[in-house]
Amino acid sequence: MIDQFKELYVHDCINGDGMSDELNQLFEKLLLEEFNDDHTKMDELIQSIIDENTPKEPSELELLQQENAELKERQEMAEEALLSLSDMLLNR
């Protein structure tokens, strides 16, 4: 029943226009039968579905590491260009 709810939730809520009657009925059934009317557990299930289906934003650390790698690459390219220019000037 949980897998069916997950599929329907993704279809209706994440990719669709919101909760359908079918999803709403399944929500109520799942809440009562699987989670014993514990709304916290139901909230955790829904949050886990959202987390699984939402692209993760890179952390600030990951962004800084990416920027650092790009800067190192640019530095290496600039150094190679300078060496090539030096070789051309010295060989004249």
Range of the domain at 43: 2-52
pLDDT tens-digit readout, 41-89? 989 999 999 998 888 888 899 999 999 999 999 999 999 999 999 999 9
What pLDDT score does 78 carry? 96
Question: What is the C-alpha separation between 46 and 50, in angstroms, rounded?
Answer: 6
Claim to verify: residue 38 and residue 75 sit in the same structural domain = no
Give the helix ranges, DSSP H, for the chain.
Answer: 2-9, 21-33, 39-52, 60-90
> What is the pTM (predicted TM-score) of this model?
0.56
Q: Structurally, how many domains does the chain consist of? A: 2
Residue 24 has pLDDT above 90, yes or no: no
What pLDDT score does 64 carry? 96
Claim to verify: residue 42 and residue 74 sit in the same structural domain = no
